[in-house]
């Protein structure tokens, strides 16, 4: 680890350990953002929240437990058919209303976005907002405006005591709210809770997770990667079937899925959208390339049309 | 009739909205008020949550009981429920029945939560021989729909592990199960 990195993590540790009153009095926007990411990784809590998007509202319950040997979440719907996700040590098990489960292999909560957080201000303008009371807790709002039209803006409301996110809004290019999360109730969890056991059911590996295990060895690159985005993770192994490359600017994350397809197989082409997520699909030689991310359609299009093999 | 105390303006109207007791004019008026007033918007959301929780089954695991959770939610905003039940007169509104709450929710949330995105930004490389699709145009029974869902779930699992996006990746994981 470089001296610079050591200094950065020392600074992060110092900010995360500051008493709430100190943070409230002295915190700068970037420090507040750092505190938010750190809280996400280190604080256990449970609560109820609403998710609003595209005219639909879903109410959910979440329990987050983190400790020396624990990293798990359980989230379930409070309305409609019971749907739940249990995430334990990076592996997510999704239980369908039918009782069937799908297991997805991810990774444990990592410092991730903290590693390059000091670069975020190059691409986003951070401003402190008002103090408000949300879910019975005192919150500080933080406004995050993109400096170009290749990423979305955010409004965060952070718990003053812990840095946990109590409310968030994802903002479109015109400042319109694309999706909103609002905690109605949140409480910290201080006592250990038994590990969450998902219902017994048939486990079906997700399609791409199965395929990712057979990822292949080719050198892919994005010719016109938007400034600030860097490759966070990517499989470049032998005999590829499907690969996932993940790019992030610290706040926005874009996945590129590449799958080899037979010449006679119909491929997806064009733009589609799922909530605030934009999806761009195209064919490149014998490959289906699909870009997925909570970024404007211009960004997924730009990345998709310039994604290519090193010859 | 009890006193209103420090009940914010329009709170009772929001309550009446929840109870399906507004005329068309009243309905329009409160919708306008809700789109202008963030505090009122959140109050409406809390009403809805409380009502929804009371009607639904608790999730498989809860650290606190359902009754405790509902009580806590109501206790944090006591005027909203109690005033609605005891004070039925809304000075600037007339009460009528006949508007569906479900319709109100859809219209209201459409107004306050979502605005369609603009067309592609000028200066960006145009898609090469692509056809713009909306997700709804993808046949849910087609292999492509299943593939996209699988991509979205893998993307969300990565986000959940990266710590970015707060709880949103988990919501998406729940949502994409459909």
Distance from the A19 Cα atom to the nearest Cα atom in chain B, whole angstroms:
22
CA distance B136 to A77: 23
Structure-token pair, residue A289? 């390339």
Q: Which of A251, A246, A241, A236 is nearest to A295 (CA)?
A: A251
Least confidently predicted of A92-101, A244-253, B94-103, B136-145: B94-103
User: In which residue ranges of chain A is pLDDT below 70?
Assistant: 1-27, 105-114, 191-218, 235-240, 311
Provide the pLDDT for residue A204: 43
Q: Which residue has the higher pLDDT, B142 or A267?
A: A267
Residues contacting residue B91 through CB under 8 Å, at least 6 positions apart: none
Pairwise CB contact (< 8 Å): B151 & A168: no
- Residues in B touching A251 (Cβ below 8 Å): 164
Pairwise CB contact (< 8 Å): B174 & A112: no
CA distance A19 to A26: 11
Provide the pLDDT for residue B21: 61
B163 confidence band (pLDDT: 50, 70, 90): low
Least confidently predicted of A2-6, B59-63, B83-87: B83-87
Distance from the B68 Cα atom to the nearest Cα atom in chain A, whole angstroms:
11
Pairwise CB contact (< 8 Å): A176 & B114: yes
Pairwise CB contact (< 8 Å): B177 & A273: no
Q: Which of A207, A205, A195, A192 is nearest to A86 (CA)?
A: A195
CB proximity B67 to A under 8 Å? no
CA distance B171 to B173: 5
B81: pLDDT strictly greater than 70 = no
Provide the pLDDT for residue A111: 58
Pairwise CB contact (< 8 Å): B163 & A111: yes
Q: Are residues B141 and B68 in the same domain?
A: no
Q: Which of A295, A268, A297, A296 is nearest to A284 (CA)?
A: A268
- Residues in B touching A196 (Cβ below 8 Å): 61
Other beta carbons within 10 Å of B15: 24
Q: Are residues B154 and B99 in the same domain?
A: no
- Cα distances from A311 to residues A173, A217, A218, A308, B16, in angstroms, run 36, 13, 10, 9, 66
DSSP category for residue A200: P
Pairwise CB contact (< 8 Å): B113 & A53: yes
Q: Over the stretch A96-135, which tens digit does the pLDDT of each residue have?
A: 777 777 777 665 555 556 677 888 999 999 999 999 999 9
Q: Which residue has the higher pLDDT, A168 or B173?
A: A168
Q: Residue B154 is part of which domain span?
A: 135-175
Pairwise CB contact (< 8 Å): A87 & B160: yes
CA distance A124 to A117: 11
Are the CB atoms for A66 and A44 separated by under 8 Å? yes
- Residues in A touching B152 (Cβ below 8 Å): 274, 277, 279, 292
Q: Are residues B102 and B140 in the same domain?
A: no
Structure-token pair, residue A38? 């750190």
CA distance B163 to A109: 6
Structure-token pair, residue A110? 């990592």
Considering chain B, what percentage of its residues have pLDDT values greater than 70? 19
**What's the pTM value of the predicted model, to 2 decimals?**
0.66
ipTM: 0.81
B163: phi then psi, degrees, rounded to nearest 5: 85, -5
Distance from the B97 Cα atom to the nearest Cα atom in chain A, whole angstroms:
23
B window 2-41, beta carbon within 8 A of A: none
Structure-token pair, residue A104? 């997805």
* Of the partner residues A79, A83, A165, the one whose CB lies closest to the CB of residue B177: A83
B33: pLDDT strictly greater than 90 = no
Pairwise CB contact (< 8 Å): A55 & B114: yes
* Of the partner residues A54, A182, A304, the one whose CB lies closest to the CB of residue B45: A182
> Total structural domains in chain B?
2
Q: Are residues B51 and B81 in the same domain?
A: yes
Q: Are residues B142 and B75 in the same domain?
A: no
Pairwise CB contact (< 8 Å): A253 & B165: yes
Residue B16 lies in a domain: yes
Q: Over the stretch B15-32, which tens digit does the pLDDT of each residue have?
A: 666 555 665 566 556 655
CA distance A7 to A47: 34
B110: pLDDT strictly greater than 70 = no
Distance from the B49 Cα atom to the nearest Cα atom in chain A, whole angstroms:
7
Provide the pLDDT for residue A68: 75
Least confidently predicted of B25-29, B42-46, B157-161: B25-29
- Residues in B touching A297 (Cβ below 8 Å): 117, 120
Q: Which residue has the higher pLDDT, B111 or A288?
A: A288
CA distance A205 to A216: 19
Structure-token pair, residue A176? 């319109």
Q: Are residues B58 and B145 in the same domain?
A: no
Other beta carbons within 10 Å of B133: 17
Q: Which of A71, A193, A208, A289 is the best substitution to test chain B (most B C-beta atoms within 10 A)?
A: A208
Residue B122 lies in a domain: no
Average pLDDT of chain B is 53
- Residues in A touching B138 (Cβ below 8 Å): 272
Q: Which CATH number does the domain A3-188 belong to among 3.90.1170.50, 3.90.1150.10, 2.50.20.10, 3.40.50.300?
A: 2.50.20.10
Residue B167 lies in a domain: yes
Residues in chain A: 311
Q: What is the bridge-based pairing of β-strands A84-88 and A71-77? A: antiparallel
Domain assignments of chain A as residue spans, ordered by start = 3-188, 206-309
Q: Are residues B84 and B17 in the same domain?
A: yes
Across-strand partners of B94? Answer: none
Residue B130 lies in a domain: no
CATH class of the structural domain A206-309: alpha beta
Distance from the B15 Cα atom to the nearest Cα atom in chain A, whole angstroms:
18
Q: Which residue has the higher pLDDT, B41 or B65?
A: B41
Across-strand partners of A168? Answer: A156, A181
Q: Are residues B73 and B154 in the same domain?
A: no
CA distance A189 to B75: 20
């Amino acid at each position: 680890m470089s001296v610079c990195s050591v200094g950065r993590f020392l600074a992060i540790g110092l900010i995360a350990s500051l008493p709430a009153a100190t943070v409230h009095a002295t915190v700068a926007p970037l420090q507040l953002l750092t505190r938010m990411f750190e809280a996400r990784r280190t604080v256990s809590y449970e609560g109820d929240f609403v998710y609003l998007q595209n005219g639909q509202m879903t109410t959910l319950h979440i329990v987050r437990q983190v400790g020396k040997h624990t990293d798990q979440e359980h989230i379930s719907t409070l309305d409609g058919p019971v749907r739940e996700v249990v995430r334990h040590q990076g592996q997510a098990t999704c239980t369908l209303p039918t009782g069937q489960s799908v297991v997805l292999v991810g990774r444990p909560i990592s410092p991730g976005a903290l590693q390059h957080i000091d670069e975020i201000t190059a691409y986003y303008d951070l401003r402190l907002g008002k103090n408000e009371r949300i879910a019975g807790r005192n919150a500080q709002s933080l406004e995050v405006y993109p400096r170009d039209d290749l990423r979305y803006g955010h409004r965060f409301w952070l718990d003053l005591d812990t840095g946990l996110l109590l409310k968030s809004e994802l903002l479109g290019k015109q400042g319109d709210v694309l999706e909103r999360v609002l905690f109605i109730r949140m409480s910290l969890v201080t006592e250990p809770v038994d590990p969450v056991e998902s219902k017994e059911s048939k486990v079906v590996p997700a399609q791409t997770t199965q395929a990712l295990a057979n990822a292949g060895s080719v050198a892919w690159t994005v010719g016109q990667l938007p400034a600030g985005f860097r490759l966070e993770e990517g499989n470049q192994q032998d005999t590829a079937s499907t690969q996932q490359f993940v790019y992030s600017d610290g706040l926005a994350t874009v996945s590129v899925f590449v799958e080899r397809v037979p010449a006679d197989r119909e491929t997806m082409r064009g733009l589609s959208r799922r909530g605030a997520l934009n999806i761009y699909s195209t064919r490149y030689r014998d490959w289906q390339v699909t870009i997925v991310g909570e970024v404007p359609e211009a960004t997924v299009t730009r990345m998709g049309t310039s994604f290519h093999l090193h010859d | 009739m009890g006193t209103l105390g420090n009940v914010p303006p329009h709170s009772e109207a929001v309550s009446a909205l929840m109870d399906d007791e507004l005329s068309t004019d009243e309905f329009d008026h409160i919708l306008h008020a809700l789109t202008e007033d963030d505090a009122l918007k959140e109050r409406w959301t809390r009403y809805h949550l409380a009502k929804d929780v009371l009607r639904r089954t608790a999730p498989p695991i809860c650290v606190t009981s359902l009754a405790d959770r509902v009580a806590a939610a109501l206790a944090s905003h006591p005027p909203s429920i109690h005033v609605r039940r005891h004070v039925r007169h809304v000075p600037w509104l007339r009460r009528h029945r006949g508007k569906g709450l479900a319709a109100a929710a859809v219209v209201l949330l459409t107004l306050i939560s979502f605005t369609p995105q603009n067309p592609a930004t000028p200066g960006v490389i145009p898609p090469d021989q692509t056809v713009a699709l909306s997700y709804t145009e993808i046949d849910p029974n087609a292999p492509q729909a299943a593939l996209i869902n699988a991509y979205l779930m893998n993307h969300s699992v990565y986000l959940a592990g990266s710590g970015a996006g707060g709880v949103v990746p988990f919501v998406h994981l729940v949502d994409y199960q459909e």
